[in-house]
Structure 1
Amino acid sequence: MKILSEAEWNIMESLWEESPKVGSRIVADMGGRIGWSRSTTLTMLKRMTEKGLIFCEDNGQMKAYTPLIEREDAVKRETESFLQRVYHGSISMLVSGFVERKRLSPEELSELRQILDKAEEECHE
């Protein structure tokens, strides 16, 4: 699976929220969210259909679109790409960067500890 562009993410977010979704609803959604025109949105839908990112069902009166990629898969792919591109694959550099720049809440610290504890348990299995 290819990394989604920012424009593709906008369309996919709309479809992940609700699908199938008719073209007119996507046009309205994109107009409201990011100010896209009808033609820009329809062009993106056509390109994304051609790329195999979404499926278009045309019943003659209207077109309905469905994502062919799960949100979780796209997020994992994007995260891996970001980690490699920015932090050369180092998770510790990524976490350190966030911790140093942002004060973490007690809840966030607790959640990070749980994640690390679980990862440590899995390493010893």
Structure 2
Amino acid sequence: MSISNAEWEIMRVVWAKGRTTSNEILDILSQKTDWTSSTVKTLLRRLVDKGYLATEKVGKSFVYSALLTESDSINAQADGLFSKFCQRKHVAILEHLLEQTLMTEADIDQLQALLLSKKTEAVEQVPCNCTPGQCNCQEHVHILEEVTANGN
């Protein structure tokens, strides 16, 4: 299931606090949004319905906690993004992300170590994972030519 941008704002507060109430979320997010209590409660209800948040009644309030880790959620979002593009374009996306990302020397060292470990798994050419007609890689050029020649 996907999480809307507004729901991400809520989830970020829940991950940061661990356990929180709608009033705490509203207080924090009032610094960047003009949401009402009703808006926050609607978003919380959606996140509970989607299975991202647990709720517990404590006195007159409800306390919310995440059922998914922030890391797992970020990874799922990244996987979803990358699944939309040809595998052969993934490195270009990573290059763009690296160019735009502020990093410490430790971050760079960690990425360099990961890249070195990936060398043992390196392939000669990344296979295209697209349906013919969705990209222009060489794997599909002859298929597109055949389809066009046959008038299909």
**Do they superpose with TM above 0.5?**
yes
Summarize the Cα distance change of 1:109–1:66 in structure 2 as closer, same or farther, 3 Å threshold.
closer
Would you say how many aligned residue pairs link Structure 1 and Structure 2?
Answer: 120
Q: Does 1:45 align with 2:29?
A: no
Structure 2, unaligned stretches of length 5 or more? 123-152
Contact persistence 2:22–2:37 (CA under 8 A): no
User: For residue 10 of structure 2, what is the amino acid of its counterpart?
Assistant: I
**What is the 5 A alignment of 1:1-125?**
2-85=1-84, 87-89=85-87, 90-98=89-97, 107=105, 110-121=109-120, 123=121
Deviation at 1:110, TM superposition (A): 4.5
Deviations 1:14-67 (Å, cap 9, x if unpaired)? Answer: 000012112210121222232212111111111211222111111341110001
Distance 2:103 2:6 in 1: 32
Distance 1:115 1:32 in 2: 38
Query: What's the C-alpha RMSD, in Å, of the aligned pairs?
Result: 2.6
Distance 1:91 1:57 in 2: 41
Deviation at 1:102, TM superposition (A): 5.1
Distance 2:102 2:96 in 1: 12
User: For residue 112 of structure 2, what is the amino acid of its counterpart?
Assistant: R
TM-score between the two structures when normalised by the length of structure 2: 0.66
Distance 1:120 1:25 in 2: 47
Q: In terms of Rg, which structure is larger?
A: 2
Structure 1, unaligned stretches of length 5 or more? none
Could you tell me the percent identity over the aligned residues? 21
Deviations 1:95-120 (Å, cap 9, x if unpaired)? Answer: 33346x65987936544322200222
Task: Determine which structure has the larger helix proportion and give its number.
Answer: 1
Distance 1:104 1:51 in 2: 33
